Every structure is written in C-alpha cells, then in structure tokens.
Chain A
C-alpha cells in the first residue's frame, strides 16, 4: 500500500531535498572519520581534509593490539550481552507479572521501578563506590554487571508493562481455559507477541551498556580492576594518550572499531524493531 502522495511534484521535491541535505550532513562525519583513520599521525592534523597519502592499516592493528582494544572489546561484548540477557529475563517476567498477574504489592513494585526511571545515575555514584568497596566488588566485572542491570531494569519494566498490557487478553484467557499453565501462556503466547518490544528494550540496553562511561570509569579505574576495562574507557585512554604523542590516526581507528559493532547490531535488528511504517512506494513517482 502506498503511503499518501500529497501536493504538487515541486513540493515533494522540496521535501526530498531536505531529507537529502540532512542525510548528507549525517553521513559526512562518518566518511571523514573513516578516511582519517587511515592517515599517519602528522598527516591527520596537517591535512585533515582529503584522501590519505597512503592507507595506513597499521593504525587499526596498533589500536587493536597495542592499545589493548582487543581485550577491551571482548570485555565490553561479554558484559553487554550478559546485561542485555539478564535485563530481558528479569524485565519481561516482572513486567508481565505487573501487567497481567496483579498481585499484592504490584503497585508498589511498579512504583519502585518508576522511581528508578526518575533517578539520575550520578546521584548513586558516591555511595555506590563505597558500597561496592564494602562488598568486595570494586573493580569486578560482576559488580559492574549488577549495577548495569539495576539501572537498565527500570526502563525495561516500564516499557514492557505498557507492551504486555496492550496485548488483548482474549488469547491468554483462551489458552488458560485450554489448561495451559501460566508459565506456558507467558512463554508461548505472550512473549512471542512482545517480540518487537523485547527487541527495542534489548537494543536500548545494548546501546546504554556498550557506551557507558561514568560508572565504569569510577569502578574500574582503581588497582583492584587490574587493568580490566571496557571499550569506552579504553577509547578515552587512547584519546588522552594520543594527546601526548599526537597520533590521531590511531584514535580514529579506535573510534571506528568501537562504532562498528553498534552499527552492525542496529542494522541487524533494525527490521525487527517496531515500525508501523507502511510500505511506501516511490512518493516521487519513480
């Protein structure tokens, strides 16, 4: 079904040009980033605007190996996947319980999560540091994962509660009448219908954890982390380091390496994200 065609061709051209200009402005920095990531140190600063004189792949290998981004990459990836999985598991069950299985205290549980949504993370930061120290979790990836889980859950629950309560109850009741257990109804009937919602929560949690800087900086900077750090920390270190060595190609290569997974993940899940978009067919008449 074609989305509306409105107005004269001229107006449609104008809208299209607007989108093109903005699209170009969006892509331009990426292109520049990619080119610069292949330049040698002085070249990146002196001739920032142009084709690289030679393609310095070693910027990438050095960022990957010497700047230890390879280790950081593994750390960030496993940490992020763990947190996403746990957030989805805890988030979906809690949200389902609140939306579909009202229990004594469900209003309180929901309000606690709502409160979590309204608290800026910096509020918790100072006590959290000493709290983790007391628990012996300072510098530990497990401690960091638990904090990320705690800060991701409020959004997950809030979002999924809306999702579950929007699914019509008829199917659920039919399944229950057929003698299915609550668990089966949840996992076989309700969960599949919330697929787009789960993908959204997963994506947003992924982005949040993959790019998180503040908490990681506080918990992983001390000696007890023994060098275990996440990718944003590694990248910030690399930028700082390059200030003393003026190796900008290296930083740009690092930036590309950090961006790549988020781009890939997004492009992979993008078709599964909720989009009520109707299939448009050439509004410009091509």
Chain B
C-alpha cells in the first residue's frame, strides 16, 4: 500500500498542528492578569487546547516589535495599527464564526453583543474586531459629598457651571482631570458636538471631511470645554496622570470626574471602602438636538483581533468565543464592576456601579471614534490641540478648531500624494545645513591630529593587529556596521510589513522642510544643550572649589554628591514622583514653607516639563562635574596658591584669576560633553512623559522611537537618526577642536 506512509505523514501533521498552543497577547488593563489567567485555565480544561498567555501593560509596543519580527500571535486585545494590518491581510475576518452559535449556543454569536458594538472595526462588509468590555463615558460624582451639600448631579453644561461656583464656594475642587493625557477631554467635546449638531456632522468629522471641524457648533463645544478647563478643573490637574487624578477624586478632594466605564475596575484596589460612586451621562449642551438624547458616547476600547497568519487562528477564535461568553463576562461584571459588551453579561453588574447599569438600561444607541480610524496620526493632532487648549491661555476655541481642520487637511493631502512636500521651514533647514557644513570645514581634524601617539621606528605587523581583531570585529558587526547601514536605510521607505521602496532623499526633505515635529524636537534638544549646563557647570565649579579647600567632611561630600549620577533610569522615575503635583516631595515642601500658590503646581505639564528638567540635571550630573573639576583643580601646583596668598589674595580673586583659568579647558569640555549628551537625550523624556510625549515635548530621540514604533516608518526613523548623528558628530569635532585649542 503505497499511500500508507502518506496517510501517516498527514495524520502526524494534523497531530502537530492541533498541538500548537494558542498564542495570546493581552493588555491586562483594569481586568488584570489574574482574570485572564483564570479564564484561560478554565478554557484549557474545557476544550483541551493549550494556551500561551502573555499579559503586559506595555503589550502594544512589544506587539509592534513582534510584528516587525514577523511573528504574529493568534489573539490579542492590544492597541494595534489595525488599518495598516488590514491592508496586508494580516487579520482574520470573523464573520463565518459570528454567524454561527455563541459559546452558550443560545443565540448567534453576532447577536450576543450590545447593539452597534461590532461596527467600529468593520471594513468591506467584514468584521475584524470583537469587543469584550464596553466603554461608555460618564460624569462620575462623589455621592456622599453631593448629599451633604444638597447638590444634584448636573445634566447640562449650564448646571455644571453653576454647580462649580457653589463647589468652589465651599472650598472644593469641582472636577479632577487626567491632564497629562488631555485626550480624556475628547469624549466630552465630541459628545457635546454630537448633541449640538447631530450624528451626520459627527460622522463628517470622523471621515475628516473638509470643513467638518469649522462647524460653528464644534467651535462652541470646544469653547465650553475651554471655559470649563479654566473654571471647573482642580488646580494642578494639568500635571496629573490618570491614576493620580482619579485618586484625587476618590480621596474626596474633587467632587467630579470624567472617565470611561473602566474607572471602577481600574481603581478598585485604591477606592476607600465607604466611597459612594455616582455616575450620570456626560453633560448635554443647552439647545441640543432632541433626537440625540438617548445616545451616549462610547469609545471603542479593548477590542480583540485574531491574526490570519498566526500558528493557530482557529484556536484563537475558539478562545475569543469563550471569553465573550455570558459565563466569563458575568464574572467581569460581577467581580470587577466592568460593563461588558455582551448583553447578558451585565445582568449581575457589581452594586458599586449600579448607576452605570441604570445608564446602560436607558441607552438607545452609542457613537464614538475608533483610534486611528480616520487616518493614522490624526489622534496625535487631537492630543496636541487639546493639550494646547489646556495649557495656553491665549489659544482660543476657534484657533483649536482651525488647528484640527488644518491637521486633517495636511494628513489627507499627504495620504493622497505621499511625494508632495510642503516647504514650511526653508530658513531653518538652510541654517542647519550651513552649521553642519561650516562645522565640518572648520573642525575636520588635520592629518595626524586624531592620532597623537608616537609611531615606533619599526612598526610591528600582523601579530599585534591580530590581538586587536576580536574587539574590532565586535565593534564593526554590532555597532559601526549597523550605523553605516542606517545611513543607507534613510533613503528607503519601509513600514516593516510590506516591501521596501527606494525614495532617495525624500525623508530628509520631509523632515527638514516640512515637519513641524522635527523642528520642535530639535529646539527642545537645543534647550537641553544650553540651559541645564549654564546652571550645572557654575554650581559645580563652586562646589569643587569648596571641596578643594579641604572643608570639613569633604571626602564624604565627594561621595554623596556623586551618588545621584549612578541612578540612571531609576533616578528619572524617582523625579517623576518628586514632581507629583498633589503629593510629590517638591510641592509638599513648597506648601510647607508657606507658598500655598504651589499647591498642585503641574511641574510636568508640557509647558513646564523642560524647565523642570533643570533641577533634575543639577541633581543627577552635578556631582560628576564636581569630581571632574576637583581633579582638575588638584592638578594646580600648591605653590601658585601659596604665592597668591602671600600677596594677600582671598578666596574670590583666587577662584577668579587663578583657579578658573587653570581649569577652563575642563569646563569647556564639560559644556560640550553635556551638549552632546543633551542631543542624545531619550530616556528622560520617554519616561517622564510615561512613554507618550506630546508633539511639543518630543526630543529627536523620542521622535525617533515614535516614528519607528508607532508610525512604523522605518526609513524616516533612520533619516532622523542620521540627522541626529550628523549634529552630534559635528559637535564632537568642534569639541575636540576647542579642547585642542584650550590646552
């Protein structure tokens, strides 16, 4: 029987295939890792599938990296470049299963979801994303406080403004706000606009139709929010992250809060046990359209996708069917107070969020905005506009509307004609090129200048070269080689998914001539190159001079000063807490010494962020330069000091006319050293902004990371890196030149 081996092979293949574990990448969010681990264990027991679970709050970045690696998971709920993946058929359409039975077999799977909740990720009549939790946005309020003062939760903007007055009259902040993430205001603005102008106008905005953002009702909605951000938000809200702001609300220091329905499950471990959580729909504008009354803003979040080219897509679908079953979703609703997107699941919603259930019952339809739906990059325009509206007192609502309109227009133009480059920064580009050229001409090392060591009379040959080869090999393969490759990659365009395309110098033209982001980032680098050194270096000279005099305990001082320099990443994370607006070390101390104006001062809001880095730089690097200057000072012969003292000179003149000139080359070198380090800055901004800088707060390093990971423009990222390299290279050459001259 010749086909027997073939059968055997086929049988073995099916065996191997079915044995592939289901690979699940989970953003644990409010539900938590434990919830998913438990559900998956039950699923494994019930079906015999094997599941590999990866749950991580930073899963989005990791998943983007594994997409670049070419290893798709089977199932994920992470934030994804959904629309780009769809272009490359990397996601599985779920309709064949949606039309089949749900896990419990009572209904069709499709019908088990709340109405409208499958729409956000549909394309070409096919459904790709399936929701688990359902996110409606509400105005939360502190019931006990409202009862004590006899307030009613506001239903309209007018009521909310009046309420804010009486709240402030009793010394209470009306609303806590997640100001570090200003897009928490977007639902409020969009919902207000929806109720004013109706569903069609809202849809026009989602489609980025021309003029959609100039709608007078939209300007009015923005204006309401602008006024509220000045009259209703807690002082210091600008500097607060979401958990910080939410803690303020639960601590009773602010009476209201805007948030999605994940609030309770996100914060449940920190909510005081006697806290009574009230929730009402987002406030309606006066004069809204009656037909929109039953509609509530629902932002699609927590959608699940199955990858078409994973190892076990069918298994992924099975697991997804199980997760969206009534059985599992009721657990979420019952134990965590999460509203779920499965109708039957919400029956046993946790009593603490009873108001949400009431709200869900009245819900007629939902509307919202899927991230990245319009055009990738437009979410950033929203974030920037809302951020500026919050921070800049002169930024009017009409200007904000115009900024959104122009942002939409620019993105659309770029999508339609990727080769077109608008020339917006001709002079800056020319200045940078001029600097680079002049720098290279002036500072290019003369022959032999970089190699100051004596050549022996009889140079040795191969055996010594051999000694240096291993190190050289490692240097070449793992550092110099890739760096050179980056210079080439900068002339290509590649999203890491499709196939690369040669584009010549287009990336450079785009960055230098058109990109506002590039120039903003570069000017931020420039700030870091100039301002912190001007504070750090003089202070370090003074301190080194103090230590050089052998003051009491100078050896201890020397060690203590240097300690912060060792901290690296942990130092940054520590300062993030020091700057905490409501209870950080700095604000607590400032209020303690009497400056009540500092209460809740938002140090890390975009407009303050860079100044806030100055004390941090002093703390972090001051000690290093003290040691450097101290070493230089101790190279000065004691006799010079003795002679000066004999002449009757005191400390200041000695510092000014003897010590400073002697260590001047070290000071200049330190300045350049700091400037070059500032050009390369990455971690400090990346971590201080919780890995999500606004366009105003990027430096080149973080912009590079964003371009590579979030926008997945690998060629443009390389072009950015090339420009960064050129600036650092020229600066280093100039530094060497200056050092050579000084010594």
User: Closest B-chain residue to A227, C-beta based?
Assistant: B54
Question: A90 near B568 (CB under 8 angstroms)?
Answer: no
Question: B631 near A275 (CB under 8 angstroms)?
Answer: yes
Which of the four size classes fits the interface of chain A? 35 or more
What is the bound-complex CA distance between A25 and B651, given in angstroms? 25
Q: Contacts A244-B243, A247-B269 known; A11 to B651 CB distance under 8 Å?
A: yes
User: Closest A-chain residue to B627, C-beta based?
Assistant: A275
Residues from chain A with a CB closer than 8 A to the CB of B546 are 15-16, 18-19
Question: A7 near B650 (CB under 8 angstroms)?
Answer: yes
What is the bound-complex CA distance between A151 and B690, given in angstroms? 27
Say which one of A55-63, A93-101, A187-195 lies at the interface with B. Answer: A93-101
What is the bound-complex CA distance between A107 and B722, given in angstroms? 26
Determine if A53 is an interface residue (Cβ-Cβ < 8 Å). Answer: no
The contact of B634 among A11, A222, A278, by CB within 8 Å, is A278
Shortest CB-to-CB span from A59 to chain B, Å, is: 14
Residues from chain B with a CB closer than 8 A to the CB of A252 are 577
A-B contact pairs, 20 of them (CB 8 A): A11-B650, A22-B539, A32-B585, A46-B247, A48-B585, A102-B460, A109-B468, A110-B451, A126-B489, A126-B721, A127-B485, A129-B68, A131-B485, A133-B69, A214-B683, A218-B65, A222-B66, A244-B243, A245-B270, A259-B566
Determine if A85 is an interface residue (Cβ-Cβ < 8 Å). Answer: no
* For the complex of A and B, 10 pairs with smallest distance between CB atoms: A211-B568, A280-B550, A3-B550, A48-B583, A150-B478, A90-B471, A49-B588, A127-B485, A103-B464, A150-B479
Query: With A120-B724, A243-B241 given, can you name 10 additional A-B contacts, CB distance below 8 Å?
Result: A6-B654, A45-B582, A109-B472, A112-B476, A150-B475, A153-B471, A161-B453, A222-B62, A222-B71, A245-B32
Residues from chain A with a CB closer than 8 A to the CB of B654 are 6
Determine if A26 is an interface residue (Cβ-Cβ < 8 Å). Answer: yes
Say which one of B133-141, B403-411, B514-522, B555-563 lies at the interface with A. Answer: B555-563
Determine if A27 is an interface residue (Cβ-Cβ < 8 Å). Answer: yes
What is the bound-complex CA distance between A282 and B247, given in angstroms? 51
Determine if A177 is an interface residue (Cβ-Cβ < 8 Å). Answer: no
Residues from chain B with a CB closer than 8 A to the CB of A29 are 564, 574-575, 578, 585, 619
Question: B69 near A103 (CB under 8 angstroms)?
Answer: no
Question: B58 near A237 (CB under 8 angstroms)?
Answer: yes
Question: B567 near A22 (CB under 8 angstroms)?
Answer: no
What is the bound-complex CA distance between A33 and B149, given in angstroms? 39
Question: A224 near B270 (CB under 8 angstroms)?
Answer: no
Question: B545 near A93 (CB under 8 angstroms)?
Answer: no
Q: Please encode chain A, from 244 to 286, with 1 for each CB lying within 8 Å of some chain B CB and 0 for all others.
A: 1111100110010011001100110010001111101111101
Residues from 447 to 486 in B contacting A, C-beta threshold 8 Å: 450-451, 453-456, 459-461, 464-465, 467-468, 470-472, 474-483, 485-486
The contact of A232 among B481, B557, B569, B682, by CB within 8 Å, is B569
Determine if B612 is an interface residue (Cβ-Cβ < 8 Å). Answer: no
Q: Contacts A101-B460, A123-B724 known; A26 to B548 CB distance under 8 Å?
A: no
Question: B482 near A128 (CB under 8 angstroms)?
Answer: yes
Q: Please encode chain A, from 173 to 211, with 1 for each CB lying within 8 Å of some chain B CB and 0 for all others.
A: 000000000000000000000000000000000010011
The contact of A46 among B251, B472, B552, by CB within 8 Å, is B251
Q: Contacts A19-B543, A146-B474, A277-B630 known; A101 to B450 CB distance under 8 Å?
A: no
The contact of A246 among B243, B573, B582, by CB within 8 Å, is B243
Which B residues lie at the A interface, using CB under 8 A?
Answer: 23, 28-30, 32, 54, 56-58, 61-62, 65-66, 68-71, 73, 241-244, 246-247, 251, 266-267, 269-270, 272, 450-451, 453-456, 459-461, 464-465, 467-468, 470-472, 474-483, 485-486, 489, 539, 542-543, 545-555, 557-564, 566-570, 573-575, 577-578, 580, 582-585, 588-589, 592, 619, 622-623, 630-631, 634-635, 638, 641-642, 645, 650-651, 654, 679-680, 682-683, 687, 690-691, 701, 704-705, 708, 714, 717-718, 721-722, 724-725, 728-729, 732-733
Residues from chain A with a CB closer than 8 A to the CB of B54 are 223
Q: Contacts A26-B563, A105-B465, A283-B554 known; A47 to B708 CB distance under 8 Å?
A: no
Question: B475 near A113 (CB under 8 angstroms)?
Answer: yes
Residues from chain A with a CB closer than 8 A to the CB of B732 are 117-118
Q: Contacts A12-B551, A244-B266, A280-B550 known; A128 to B73 CB distance under 8 Å?
A: no
Determine if A167 is an interface residue (Cβ-Cβ < 8 Å). Answer: no
Determine if A104 is an interface residue (Cβ-Cβ < 8 Å). Answer: yes
Determine if A168 is an interface residue (Cβ-Cβ < 8 Å). Answer: no
Residues from chain A with a CB closer than 8 A to the CB of B570 are 211, 232, 235, 255, 258-259
Shortest CB-to-CB span from A262 to chain B, Å, is: 4
Residues from chain A with a CB closer than 8 A to the CB of B32 are 245
Question: B482 near A124 (CB under 8 angstroms)?
Answer: yes
Shortest CB-to-CB span from A167 to chain B, Å, is: 13
Shortest CB-to-CB span from A77 to chain B, Å, is: 15
Residues from chain A with a CB closer than 8 A to the CB of B583 are 45-49
Q: Contacts A29-B619, A247-B269 known; A236 to B569 CB distance under 8 Å?
A: yes
Residues from chain A with a CB closer than 8 A to the CB of B555 are 277, 280
The contact of B721 among A2, A27, A125, A276, by CB within 8 Å, is A125
Residues from 16 to 38 in A contacting B, C-beta threshold 8 Å: 16, 18-19, 22-23, 25-30, 32-33, 36
**Which of A11, A19, A111, A270 gathers most chain B CB within 10 Å?**
A19
Residues from chain B with a CB closer than 8 A to the CB of A125 are 482, 486, 704, 708, 721
The contact of B568 among A157, A210, A237, by CB within 8 Å, is A210
Residues from chain B with a CB closer than 8 A to the CB of A130 are 68
Q: Contacts A3-B548, A258-B570, A276-B634 known; A223 to B69 CB distance under 8 Å?
A: yes
Determine if A154 is an interface residue (Cβ-Cβ < 8 Å). Answer: yes
Residues from chain A with a CB closer than 8 A to the CB of B476 are 112
User: Closest A-chain residue to B272, C-beta based?
Assistant: A42
What is the bound-complex CA distance between A221 and B481, given in angstroms? 23
Residues from chain A with a CB closer than 8 A to the CB of B721 are 120, 122-123, 125-126
What is the bound-complex CA distance between A259 and B574, given in angstroms? 11
What is the bound-complex CA distance between A6 and B467, given in angstroms? 52
Residues from chain A with a CB closer than 8 A to the CB of B455 are 102
What is the bound-complex CA distance between A161 and B452, given in angstroms? 10
Residues from chain B with a CB closer than 8 A to the CB of A80 are none
What is the bound-complex CA distance between A119 and B724, given in angstroms? 9
**Which of A98, A154, A245, A258 gathers most chain B CB within 10 Å?**
A245
